[in-house]
Structure formats: C-alpha cells, structure tokens
Amino acid sequence: GPALLFVKTSQGKEEGRRFYACSACRDRKDCNFFQWEDEKVSETRLAAREEYNRNHQPFFTHRQNVDRYKNFVLLPLSKRRFCQECQQLLLPAEWEKHSDHQFLCDITTAQLKSPSQLLYPLENKKTNAQYLFADRSCQFLLNLLFGLGFRRVLSVGTPRLHEMIQSKASEEEEFSVRSLLLDIDFRYSQFYTEDEFCHYNMFNHHFFGGEAARETCRKFLYEENGERVIMVADPPFGGLVEALASSFKKLMAMWRETEKEGHDSREMPMLWIFPYFFESRILDFFPSFSMMDYQVDYDNHALYKHGKTGRRQSPVRIFTNLTPSMIVLPEEEGYRFCTACQRYVSSGNQHCEICNSCTSKDGRRWKHCVLCKKCVKPSWFHCNNCNCCTLEKHSCEKTDIGCFVCGKAGHKRSACPSLSCT
Ligand code: SAH
Ligand code: ZN
Ligand code: ZN
Ligand code: ZN
Ligand code: ZN
C-alpha cells in the first residue's frame, strides 16, 4: 500500500528533507523502499520496483487458501500436515516438495481453530512485533466486551482475541459474538474466509484485498438488529501513533457512514491496547479516550507478564472512549474502585487529594511534587537546575528537541526511557 511521508531533520536546519518510506516496516532491512519527495523516478526504476513487488506476492491468494482449507478439513487426521518452515497447511500432493522441511502431523480441528498456537509468532520488533495475549488477559477482554453488550468485534491486529471469539461462538450457543480480523499477517488467510479475515495494513489503512475487502469491513460495521460493534486494536508498540490514529479514525468514519441517519455525534467504541507512556500521544489524537489501569499480559513476552509472580509488571494498558466506570477490573487481581475518580484502579494507585485523581501510571504509588504541581514516579526527585522532577542521577544539560517517542525533552528516541523495556 501507500508509503508514508517522513521528514529527515538535521541539526541546525529549520526544515528537513521529506521522503517516502514503507509504512509497515520500520527497519530498512525489512523493506528498502526509499524515495525523496521531490525525486524524479526513472521508468527503469519504476519497472524494477513493480517487478520486485510482483515477485514478492504471497504464493497463494486468499481465495485459493480458502479452497485449500476446505480440502484440508476433508482429509483424515493422518493426512493433515502443517509445514513449519513454510508456515503452511499441506495437501498430500505437496508433501514431496516439502520433504526436507520440518512439519507437524495429525493436525486436529482444535489446532485449526487456534492458528495463533500453530503459527510461530513473528516477533521481529520492527515489523510484526507479534506478541500474543496471555489467556488471562484475552479472557478478560472477551468477558468485558460481552458483558458490555457488544456482539461484533473488529479485531485489528488481535488474532488471538479473534480466534477466542470464533471458538467460543462455535461452542456455546448463547455466545453470539462475531469477529472480523484485520491483520498484516497473511498466514491467517489459510484459516479464515474473506468474511472473517482481511489482509490489512493499519499504518496506512490499506486493504490488500481491494474494494471487495473494504466492502466486507463496511458490511461488518453496519449494526443490524441492534448488534453493537466495537473495535479492539493491539498494534506493534514501535509504531507511529500518528499513523495508527489516522487509520483508526478512518475505520471509525467507515462505521459512522454505515448508518444513514448517522450515529448522532457518537464515536465508534474502541479499545486501543498500548503502553502507558504513549498516553499523552494517544490523547492528542483522541481526546475522548482515557487510560485504564488494567495491565495487559502477553504469552511470548518475558517482560510483559503479570507482576504478582515477582516478574516485571506489564506497561501495556487499555485506552478507551467507553465510560471508565463501566470497565470493571478484577478485584482478585488487585484492582479497586475509586469513587472520586469513578474508575477502577490498581491497588497501589493512591488517590492524590491535590491532583484529585489516582495518578499512578505504572501501578506503584506515586508522590506529589508541589513544585511540579503533579504526581511523579516514586524514584524521582525534584532537580532545581532542570526545574522538574527526574531521576536523581541525570545530566542537567537538556537537548531542546523533544524525543520522538514520548515527546519529552532531554533525550533522543534511541535513549528514550519508555522504550527500554520494549
Ligand atoms: N496481542 C494480540 C497480538 C498483538 S501483536 C493478540 O494476542 O491477538 C501485533 C499484531 O499486529 C500482530 O498480529 C501483527 O501481525 C499485527 N501487525 C503488525 N504490523 C501490522 C500492520 N502494519 N498492519 C496490520 N497489522 C499489523
Ligand atoms: Zn482516585
Ligand atoms: Zn498529585
Ligand atoms: Zn518536581
Ligand atoms: Zn537536572
């Protein structure tokens, strides 16, 4: 899909030079597309790029994958193989070609229903950053959505939530929830029809399946028979908030346009799962959102597991435009209701009388600084040189350009303390 326009700033210069680069890959090693905004592209280079793109298409189309799946499920257990190297379901005629690859045998229906367990997570931080929800967190999200009365979930980059909804819906009759997965990981097209999965890039709102896929999404967002829909997104944390916000706004607009009379001035309900240190960035784009204290845990991310076991606590939170008091957090995991704030908070999060809010972002008890006029991390001290609270050990020189990640002055993106744990 479309590239994003970036700007290269060099120190001392007012204006930087603008260039286009891949929206999905934040590492030039993964995608080397680069073009100055004002560059004249030769016919030869254009042709070479098109040739490159043609050669890098997935081997099978989504339609072909759907047909293959239909044939696959007809096979007896003993003939159901999954090639681990190609990450592909194999039909018997193809065994030969994959004979020197590792494969799994006897693929059960249960395995086909949880592709996120069958496929290996694409952990490449700069592109897919596929971190799967721990069961506990996934269950929590699902119960929350269902309890709030939502019956349709637009799952943006949440394959595990999608599959949990799908399996529960197929097993329990009273659980009538549908999900549409939008994800850039095309491997999922082997397990879901075009009505269940769209190959989608959430950094530029590109549907790889073209108008037909857009239409699928549009139809899904149309709320028939009072079935309310919500969007749940869990993007890669290295992603640009601005690009993500722009795509989410487009999905929200799609929802708004499905209703002839319009949804008054309502905003499409959404849960955006992202680290707490992006709070101010997210609120810049979505002022109606608030951050919940709930810590989202992941299976394959050693650092983001639940705090109670002595491990580090997860910095990942839920941002939502739903009324905070409706998001009930589990007491048995240490959350409580603050009547003054009208929301559930971490047990360690003390209500500050001066700020009139439960101010902790990370679950630890924060302390109020009268000079900064706000609560700060327990490990911080007020530095009179810098005129703000910061770590006791720091160098007082400031760089005046704000960090690209957290927006704060004093350090560059590469040294951003927020990213040290991602
Ligand atoms: N916790 C979620 C997974 C989040 S990981 C779960 O368990 O369901 C981030 C997800 O976003 C991955 O599935 C990844 O494939 C997808 N993703 C990464 N870059 C993307 C992009 N540019 N567009 C759409 N999806 C993307
Ligand atoms: Zn409070
Ligand atoms: Zn305070
Ligand atoms: Zn201070
Ligand atoms: Zn200082």
Domain of residue 13: give its range. Answer: 4-56
Residue 130: exposed, middle, or buried by beta-carbon count in 10 A (0-12, 13-18, 19+)?
buried
Instruction: Count CA atoms closer than 13 A to 395's CA, side-chain side.
Output: 5
Rounded (10°) angle between helices 241-258 and 210-221: 70
> Which tens digit of pLDDT belongs to each residue from 294-321?
999 998 766 655 545 544 578 999 999 9
> Which tens digit of pLDDT belongs to each residue from 172-216?
999 999 999 999 999 999 999 999 999 999 999 999 999 999 999
User: Same domain for 80 and 9?
Assistant: no
C-alpha 21 – ligand 1 centre gap (Å): 20
Taking 60 as the threshold, does the pLDDT of residue 147 lie above it? yes
Among residues 347, 382, 400, the one where a domain terminates is: 347
- Dump the DSSP string for 312-342: PPP-EEEEESS-GGG-PPPGGGTEEEETTTT
Does 308 reside within a domain? yes
| The predicted structure's pLDDT at residue 260 | 66
Does 129 reside within a domain? no
Confidence of residue 343 (pLDDT cuts 50, 70, 90): very high
C-alpha 8 – ligand 2 centre gap (Å): 42
User: Same domain for 146 and 165?
Assistant: yes
User: Same domain for 79 and 171?
Assistant: no
User: Same domain for 80 and 189?
Assistant: no
- Report d(CA 324, CA 317) in Å as an integer: 13
- Report d(CA 347, CA 344) in Å as an integer: 9
Higher pLDDT, 42 or 13: 42
Taking 60 as the threshold, does the pLDDT of residue 400 lie above it? no
C-alpha 355 – ligand 4 centre gap (Å): 14
Does 359 reside within a domain? no
| The predicted structure's pLDDT at residue 268 | 96
User: Same domain for 208 and 95?
Assistant: no
Does 92 reside within a domain? yes
* Residue type at 391 in one-letter notation: L
| The predicted structure's pLDDT at residue 66 | 98
| The predicted structure's pLDDT at residue 311 | 47
Ligand 1 atom closest to the Cα of residue 23 is: 22
| The predicted structure's pLDDT at residue 12 | 65
Taking 70 as the threshold, does the pLDDT of residue 140 lie above it? yes
User: Same domain for 46 and 157?
Assistant: no
User: Same domain for 183 and 83?
Assistant: no
Among residues 347, 381, 414, the one where a domain terminates is: 347
Residue 131: Cβ within 10 Å count: 23
Higher pLDDT, 13 or 262: 13
Confidence of residue 350 (pLDDT cuts 50, 70, 90): very high
Q: Which of 25, 117, 124, 128 to mutate to test the pocket of ligand 1 (most atoms within 8 A of CB)?
A: 128
- What residues are paired with 155 via a beta bridge? 181, 232
Contact status, residue 184 vs residue 200, Cβ threshold 8 Å: yes
Ligand 1 atom closest to the Cα of residue 133 is: 7
User: Same domain for 208 and 286?
Assistant: yes
* Weakest-pLDDT range from 128-132, 241-245, 259-263, 289-293: 259-263
Taking 90 as the threshold, does the pLDDT of residue 405 lie above it? no
Parallel/antiparallel/unpaired status of strands 178-183 and 150-156: parallel
Contact status, residue 72 vs residue 91, Cβ threshold 8 Å: yes
* pTM of the model as a whole: 0.91
- Report d(CA 326, CA 318) in Å as an integer: 13
* Weakest-pLDDT range from 41-50, 121-130, 312-321: 121-130
Ligand having the closest approach to the CA of 298: 1
Confidence of residue 422 (pLDDT cuts 50, 70, 90): very low
| The predicted structure's pLDDT at residue 421 | 36
Distances from the Cα of 88 to the Cα of 82, 150, 347, angstroms? 6, 33, 45
Higher pLDDT, 179 or 226: 179
- Rounded to the nearest 10°, the torsion over CA 120, 125, 127, 133 is 50
CA end-to-end span of the chain: 27
User: Same domain for 271 and 330?
Assistant: yes
- Dump the DSSP string for 266-280: ----EEEEEEGGGHH
Does 25 reside within a domain? yes
Q: Which of 137, 158, 205 to mutate to test the pocket of ligand 1 (most atoms within 8 A of CB)?
A: 158
Does 355 reside within a domain? no
Per-residue tokens: 405: 């990640």
Per-residue tokens: 180: 């549409």
Taking 90 as the threshold, does the pLDDT of residue 78 lie above it? yes
Contact status, residue 324 vs residue 342, Cβ threshold 8 Å: yes
> Which tens digit of pLDDT belongs to each residue from 32-44?
899 999 999 999 9
| The predicted structure's pLDDT at residue 413 | 57
Ligand 1: residue whose CA is nearest its atom 9 = 130
User: Same domain for 178 and 223?
Assistant: yes
Does 128 reside within a domain? no
- In terms of Cα–Cα distance, which of 318, 266, 305, 10 is closest to 145? 318
- In terms of Cα–Cα distance, which of 229, 224, 236, 298 is closest to 272? 236
Per-residue tokens: 85: 């190297």
Does 375 reside within a domain? no
User: Same domain for 89 and 152?
Assistant: no
Residue 275: Cβ within 10 Å count: 20
| The predicted structure's pLDDT at residue 310 | 44
Taking 90 as the threshold, does the pLDDT of residue 169 lie above it? yes
Total domains present in the chain: 3
Mean pLDDT of the chain: 90
| The predicted structure's pLDDT at residue 223 | 85
Spatial CB neighbours of 135, under 8 Å, sequence gap ≥ 6: 299
| The predicted structure's pLDDT at residue 48 | 93
C-alpha 234 – ligand 1 centre gap (Å): 6
> Which tens digit of pLDDT belongs to each residue from 355-371?
999 999 988 899 999 99
Place of tokens 């254009």: 46
User: Same domain for 193 and 335?
Assistant: yes
> Could you tell me the CATH number of the domain that includes residue 189?
3.40.50
Taking 90 as the threshold, does the pLDDT of residue 292 lie above it? yes
Ligand 1 pocket, CB under 6 A: 24, 128-133, 157-161, 183-185, 200-203, 234-236
- Report d(CA 179, CA 123) in Å as an integer: 24
